[in-house]
Amino acid sequence: MSKNVLVLPGDGIGPEIVAQARRVLELVNQQDNLDLTLSEALVGGSAIDAEGVPLPEATLEAAHAADAILLGAVGGPKWDTNPDFQIRPEKGLLGIRSNLGLFGNLRPAILYPQLAHASTLKPEVVSGLDILIVRELTGGIYFGQPRGVRVKEDGVREGYNTYVYDENEIRRIGRVAFEAARARDKRLCSVDKANVLEVTVLWREIMEELAKEYPDVELSHMYVDNAAMQLVRAPKQFDVVVTGNMFGDILSDAAAMLTGSIGMLPSASLDVNGKGMYEPCHGSAPDIAGQNMANPLATILSVAMMLRYSLAAGDTADRIEAAVSQVLDQNLRTGDIWSEGMQKVSTTEMGDAVIAALQA
């Protein structure tokens, strides 16, 4: 049966990098008989310009109907200062995430050996790094009620948020992480602050419970402050890391920077059925938009994740990842990952090279 992929180019470099990723998806669709049907819709600033809102009704409907969504990036100086927060580009993304219940955020941090120099850390610490951070995306302190700023009896103002997870929320993100670990090196590190926060005592308990269902996966626990240190000291000790929304926000950005090449990092946000939205970790890069110089590889690698996690086409995903590694072996580099002696290529030339590698 045919599956639907919704493509959301977005703003800034979004349309440029998505165009290359779409070419790749169309090619493998043909080559591997995947029977995918692609459609496109507006989101973010471009949707604000055309329809007055960052998430038009038609886009949300198409997102519901799709089996997977490929997103470029949203945002830009033209819209980011709108005093009405409802008419900001990122509301488009948040709207899709919450309406579709995309609670499971998968952020790989992979450093291709060819790019070891791109990291600010010593090559021997990060070369060949391949870890996966699984972040809970729709709960925790970012969403907990009550929240706000109030005036105390003595007239002093205080801000407050609520850190809450119920056991079902913990269990479902735990399952995503255990499944991912099972498909990788079978090691899962759960990150919490169980020495201070009751909510993460429960978190730890549920992870232990789940571990009984996954005897082939080795579960360990780490406090978040130590995890931050270990991530910088010896990141290769990790395989899969699972954590809540706020800790995951911070740790996944730190992990991304270990690789030094944000233009290379894909991500996935999944619902309970494995449907997901896939996007590069970076933003819309307005500083280089429209110049055919953005790195399309993070978006192309997002297509690979989409095929693996939402479209049951893991072999095709492997082929795309191998093709990306091959173009790096050919010394082709966009500006963000360029170094002395390498051949500088444009967005479209990088797309051409990946296509050629897939056709070889």
Task: From the candidates 3, 78, 142, 223, give the one annotated as an active-site residue.
Answer: 142
Residue 265 near ligand NAI by CB under 6 A: no
Residue 108 near ligand NAI by CB under 6 A: no
- Strand arrangement of the beta sheet that strand 276-280 belongs to: 36-40, 3-10, 68-73, 276-280, 266-270, 104-110, 130-136, 240-243, 187-192, 218-223
How many CB atoms within 10 Å of residue 225? 13
SS3 at position 194: coil
Judged by CB, which is closer to ligand NAI: 59, or 284?
A: 284
Judged by CB, which is closer to ligand NAI: 20, or 190?
A: 20
**Of the candidate residues 294, 307, 311, 357, the single one contacting ligand NAI (CB under 6 A):** 294
**Of the candidate residues 20, 138, 284, 310, the single one contacting ligand NAI (CB under 6 A):** 284
Stretch that binds ligand NAI, among 100-108, 190-198, 292-300, 311-319 (CB under 6 A): 292-300
Stretch that binds ligand NAI, among 21-29, 195-203, 280-288, 301-309 (CB under 6 A): 280-288
Catalytic site includes residue 84: no
Stretch that binds ligand NAI, among 121-129, 143-151, 236-244, 287-295 (CB under 6 A): 287-295
SS3 at position 62: helix
Catalytic site includes residue 253: yes
User: Which amino acid, residue 67?
Assistant: D
Phi and psi for 129 in degrees, rounded to 5? Answer: -55, 135
CA distances (Å), origin 52, targets 56, 85, 144:
8, 13, 30
SS3 at position 98: helix
Residue 115 near ligand NAI by CB under 6 A: no
Per the annotation, where are the binding residues for substrate? 97, 107, 135, 225
SS3 at position 195: coil
Per-position x/- string for 252-291, each x denoting binding to Mg ion as judged by CB under 5 A, each - no binding: -x--------------------------------------
173/43 Cα distance (integer angstroms): 27
Catalytic site includes residue 249: yes
- Three-class HEC string of 211-261: HCCCCCCEEEEEEHHHHHHHHHHCHHHCCEEEECHHHHHHHHHHHHHHHCC
227/231 Cα distance (integer angstroms): 6
Judged by CB, which is closer to Mg ion: 252, or 295?
A: 252
CA distances (Å), origin 15, targets 21, 308, 342:
10, 23, 26
Peptide bond into 146 cis (omega under 30): yes
Give min distance, CB of 330 to ligand NAI, in A: 18
Catalytic site includes residue 193: yes
- Scan residues 322-341 and list those touching ligand NAI (CB under 6 A): 334, 336
Judged by CB, which is closer to ligand NAI: 22, or 193?
A: 22
Task: From the candidates 32, 80, 185, 249, give the one annotated as an active-site residue.
Answer: 249
Q: Are strands 266-270 and 276-280 parallel, antiparallel or unpaired?
A: antiparallel
Residue 123 near ligand NAI by CB under 6 A: no
Per the annotation, where are the binding residues for Mg(2+)? 225, 249, 253
Catalytic site includes residue 225: yes
Judged by CB, which is closer to ligand NAI: 194, or 301?
A: 301
Residue 260 near ligand NAI by CB under 6 A: no
Judged by CB, which is closer to ligand NAI: 20, or 200?
A: 20
Residue 288 near ligand NAI by CB under 6 A: yes
Nearest-10 crossing angle of helices 90-100, 57-65: 40
In total, the chain counts a number of residues equal to: 360
Binding positions for ligand NAI, rule: CB under 6 A: 13, 17, 73-76, 80, 90, 93, 262-263, 279, 282-288, 294-295, 298, 334, 336
| Residues catalogued as catalytic | 142, 193, 225, 249, 253
Residues in touch with Mg ion (CB under 5 A) = 249, 253
